[in-house]
A and B are shown apart, each in its own frame.
Chain A
Amino acid sequence: MSADLRLAWLLTRGSDRREWWRVALTAVGAALATGIGLAFATVASIRGRYSVSVGSGLLDDASDRQGVMITLLMLLVPVLGFLGQCARVGAVHRDRRLAALRLAGATPAQVRRIAALEAGLACLTGSTLATAVSVPLLLSLWQHPEPLAWVGMALVAVAVPVLGAAVSALALRRVVASPLGWVRRVRPTRGPGRVFGALTVLLVVLAAYVGLNMYRGNRLGVALGPLTVFATSLLLGVAAVWLAGWSSRRLGTALAARAQRPALLIAAERLRDDPWATARTHAAVLLVTVVGTAFAGIRAVMLHIVNGTTPLSETNAYYTTGLDLTAAAILLALALTLSALAVGTAESLASRRRGLAAQAAAGVPQSVLGRALLLETALPLAPAVLLAGAGGTAIYVGWAELIDDAVGPVPLLPVLVPVAVYAACLLAAAMSLPLLRRSVRPAELRYA
């Protein structure tokens, strides 16, 4: 192990700027995951009814705290997406490096350990920082935390780097297979495959079952209402991701045959070559679009009721705080997924820089490459975002009709959410254009 640790340190020390970006971004992701985990552990440690000074009473009752904990767990999804994108930074380069280690005689287990140590160290940095900030914050809010809270926090602080290391080792299984991994690496061109299909079928069956129950007015169905919304949101997100991949392939094939302009031709060939690239990069964004659109509508309906003529309670703060906190959580999730998107787009460019540099050296203008880059994002994303937005709208319209006939007109403002998300995605892609200018320098041809 000491030899592996020494090599991991040597490799980290000799890393270039891109590798340091990966380490820093991974540490940020680990810090966010730790922060959410620590909040979860703290809330989970509270027993019975408790007067909490923050949250307008949302944390006082056990049943309300469960809702907060579920929201915190849901927030982990975009954080994990962000960490996944961070792990992709320099992945091609890193895979080659690890294959070179194998060629020099490293065993598969040694390579996994070295990679795990590198990732674990980055996660440990983030976890330590988050814990160092969270503990004083907790002590300022809670003078005598339960022992269970400390145990939970310690577990989270240790679990995040350990999980980071384990996931890193697991992700390398394809490269470890051969010292020529970087030569014979096979990209998934047929999409996520059977697991994806099985998940979709499972969700369809679940949604149909719950929907049928609700249609019949069964109590079980009513109880499963939130589950229906959750399952439908997930189903729509999965469908939107699938649509992004499917439309990439179709659009790529159709446009490659008919394109008259070089930018469109390059974009079409790229879509045809790797149709699932957009789906992979935008999966979290599409899921957040469904949830964001649905929640924006539900929030508007709920506020209409809360602020209506018959107040639900003496103070509406209890309800509005809950809605506002959920909105903040979704906005945070959106910000995280857009950050992950920016990282993913930049990484995609960086890993293709040699090919781009070769095109530029052969005379393809930068403006053409830039337009091709934007089209690669814009074309397959449009139908996927449209589906995600329509699905989110259907959820909140259905919800509004379900809870009360007298909520007034269904709000239309939330339909702007998918438009805003689409614009933000294009903006994220546009932000990588300065990197494109650097990537196409002919000097990049020197480096494999």
Chain B
Amino acid sequence: MSNEEDGAVPLLAARDLVKAHGRNEALRGATVELRPGEILAVTGASGSGKSTLLHCLAGIVRPDSGAVTYGGERLDRLPERRLSELRRTEFGVVFQFGQLIPELTALDNVALPLLLGGARRQEAQASAGEWLERFGVRGQEELRPGEMSGGQAQRVALARALVTGPKVVFADEPTGALDSLASEQVMSALTHTARESGTAVLLITHDAQVAAYADREVRLADGAVLPLEVGV
């Protein structure tokens, strides 16, 4: 299924992406679209190019060829400064682990994008506190990442990704380091909040149970999207 068929204008689109890391070609002409408010799962075997696709779509790395379009703008041609601004205001990024800053408390980690944008600390912390509550980690504000469990840390990371009210959240194996219960809690919190706020989510996973939370699934193999799209 594509946007031409259902008439929806894609929020984010990648066309014929090619990206190589040294001699290893991670993406070989991948094409994918994300619609507003949609939760899209990108699945595939390890090494199929899922993470590289996410990095290209989030403007973290530039593709060698092909185009990434976001709201009519060519993302792959934007200067670094504009990409940083997008990540701070319209994109949220969550990885498997490691994106929280160890020196900052949970509250300050969530407040970070607002602080980087020049918000006053009290306002930023107030907003961060609300998001921590929505993700069920209220009371853990003063903990640093090293003092949290994996599930808590991921929920804090999700709160940080959503605190600016982004239009897209990029989640790369967000439950990859969690047990099934914590995984379920994190995915429920993410999808519930995304649907509530109309945020689109690009979800990278190799786990069928996690992919089941998505509205749509595309499968990647050898750096290209397989022809069959699965409606979940």
Contacts and interface: CB of A to CB of B under 8 A. Distances in A.
Interface of A: 3, 6-7, 10-16, 19, 93, 96-97, 100-110, 178-180, 184, 446-448
A105 B102 contact: no
A10 B103 contact: yes
B215 to A, nearest CB: 26
B101 A97 contact: yes
Given A102-B84, A184-B21, 4 more contacts: A11-B101, A93-B102, A105-B84, A447-B146
Contacts of B146: 446-447
Interface of B: 21, 55, 60-61, 80-81, 84-85, 87-89, 93, 97-105, 108, 112-113, 115-118, 121, 144, 146, 160, 164
A97 B112 CA distance: 12
A89 to B, nearest CB: 15
A208 to B, nearest CB: 41
Given A3-B118, A105-B117, A180 B61 contact: yes
B104 A104 contact: no
A107 B55 contact: no
B103 A11 contact: yes
5 contacts: A14-B104, A106-B88, A108-B81, A110-B84, A447-B146
Contact of B160 (A102, A104, A184, A447): A104
A8 to B, nearest CB: 11
Contacts of B116: 3, 7, 101, 104-106, 110
B61 A178 contact: yes
B112 A104 contact: yes
A107 B105 contact: no
Given A96-B98, A97-B103, A110-B116, A6 B121 contact: yes
Majority SS at the chain A contact face: helix
Contacts of B99: 100, 103-104
B1 to A, nearest CB: 31
Most chain B CB within 10 A, of A19, A101, A179, is at: A179
Contacts of A101: 101, 112, 116
A447 B102 CA distance: 10
A7 B85 CA distance: 17
Nearest to B84: A107
Contacts of B112: 7, 101, 104
B60, B98, B101, B108: most-surrounded residue (chain A CB, <10 A):
B101
A105 B101 contact: no
A105 to B, nearest CB: 2
A258 B145 CA distance: 44
Given A10-B108, A179-B60, A103 B103 contact: no
A324 B97 CA distance: 57
Given A3-B118, A178-B61, A180-B61, A100 B103 contact: no
Contact of B60 (A16, A19, A178): A178
B54 to A, nearest CB: 11
B10 to A, nearest CB: 23
A105 B93 CA distance: 10
Given A15-B103, A16-B102, A105 B60 contact: no
B115 A6 contact: yes
Contacts of B164: 105
A14 B105 contact: yes
With a 10 A CB-CB cut-off, give which of A102, A105, A447 has the most chain B CB atoms.
A105
- List the 10 closest A-B pairs by CB distance, nearest first: A105-B88, A14-B103, A107-B84, A105-B87, A11-B103, A104-B112, A105-B113, A106-B116, A100-B101, A104-B113
B118 A104 contact: no
Contacts of A179: 60, 87
A327 to B, nearest CB: 44
B100 A100 contact: yes
Nearest to A11: B103
Contacts of B55: 180
Question: B21, B84, B164: which has the most chain A beta carbons within 10 Å?
Answer: B84
Contact of A104 (B87, B121, B144): B87
Contacts of A100: 98-101
A359 B100 CA distance: 26
Nearest to B109: A104
Contacts of A96: 98
Nearest to A114: B116
A108 B103 contact: no
Contacts of A10: 103-104, 108
Given A7-B116, A180-B60, A105 B104 contact: no
A107 B59 CA distance: 13
A178 B84 CA distance: 10
